[in-house]
Amino acid sequence: MKKLMIGIPVVITGLLMMSGCTKEQTQAKSMEQLHEENGIPVRVESVVQKPLTSEHTYFAVLTGILESTASAHVGDKVDKILYRVGDSVQKDAVVITFPTDNPAAQYYQAKVGYEHAEATVKRMENLFNNGGISQQEYENARTQYMVSKANWDAVKQAVKVQAPISGTITSINVQESDNVHSGDALFTISQTSKLKAKLWVPESQIHDVAIGNPTTATWNGITLEGTVTQVDMSLNTKQQAFGVAVEFENPDQKVMSGVNAEIEIIAAANRSAVVIERKNIVMKDNRAYVFVADKGAAVAREITIGKELGLDVEVKSGLRPGDSLITEGQMLLSNGTKINIIKN
């Protein structure tokens, strides 16, 4: 009796183990049968054409919409600097001065020559008006006066360096008592309510870029909105690219002139195309395929890929507007597989 009782649990355990295996096999077969009967669940979307857009990113230096650098016209020691970086100045305001006793400038000689010519032309004008001299004599005196005035203006600008444009002083390259040479850059003035940049666009992208394309410039977390204002029509042989000018509004002037910014052009081609997400493409033997739903089955279509637009891809052939593109579940499919379309 005891031997019988000992054998019963062993038999029951064996039956339970056999039952478990049978149940798992039954469930596995049931899932396969479910797919065979109802189809593999998938989601689809209708293929449509839309304007072909692309985004191209470049890096370039932003500068003021107007910017000018004043240079030294004489070699001498800097006498005074009348403004600081960040100051606003008007055109022709004196920013830096040099000593007036510099022999190379001939400041006082030019001043005396101008004053003498000015007095002479006034005297000759009175005589001419009263018939005391000929018109030729008066014109000679006036010509001499104009030459002396031009010399005097040039000498004054060499000794008292003026702002070439109105704007903000963005850099001063010298300090008082510095010795400079003729041609050395002294200071730069910029108008920074708008900024500009020059981009170099390769041949493969230039057909996407046109005047008026929207563009953004990002620097230090600040993004400015702008547009393409010029597109060169010939290749720069040195850069092996096409020059493109862009401008940006900088109303708060938070972005400074001279910074290196990431610039993105949102380019739009003059055509529409079929564009799908890259994830919907299945690669096999270096060929690209998609699956479309047709009469309850998955149909594999080989496609030709065009432009690659970030996460999207242009499909040049193999898909038509109105096709039902399978967007989920395609990794479980093969050509002719029965499918069950799940509604969103």
pLDDT of residue 331: 87
Domain boundaries, the chain: 40-52+272-341, 56-64+192-270, 100-160
- Strands 40-46, 339-341: parallel, antiparallel or unpaired by DSSP? parallel
What's the DSSP call for residue 280?
A: G
Q: What is the architecture, at CATH level 2, of domain 56-64+192-270?
A: Beta Barrel (2.40)
Residues 6+ apart with CB under 8 A from 166: 88, 89, 90, 91, 189, 191
262, 241 contact by CB (below 8 A): no
Q: How far is it, in rounded angstroms, from Cα 115 to Cα 112?
A: 5
pLDDT of residue 3: 43
Confidence of residue 6 (pLDDT cuts 50, 70, 90): very low
Confidence of residue 29 (pLDDT cuts 50, 70, 90): low
pLDDT of residue 269: 61
80-138 pLDDT, tens digit each: 999 999 999 999 999 999 999 888 778 899 899 999 999 999 999 898 888 888 999 99
Please indicate whether residue 20 or residue 72 has the higher confidence score (pLDDT): 72
Q: What angle do CA 27, 29, 34 make, to 5 degrees?
A: 90
pLDDT of residue 343: 82
157-193 pLDDT, tens digit each: 999 999 999 999 999 999 999 999 999 999 999 999 9
pTM: 0.59
CATH of 40-52+272-341, picked from 3.20.20.20, 2.130.10.10, 3.40.718.10, 2.40.420.20, is 2.40.420.20
CATH number of 100-160: 1.10.287.470
184-234 pLDDT, tens digit each: 999 999 999 999 999 999 998 898 899 999 999 999 999 999 999 999 999
Alpha-carbon dihedral of residues 215, 221, 222, 223, nearest 10 degrees?
20
Within 10 A of 278 (CB to CB), how many other CB atoms are there?
Answer: 13
pLDDT of residue 208: 84
pLDDT of residue 298: 94
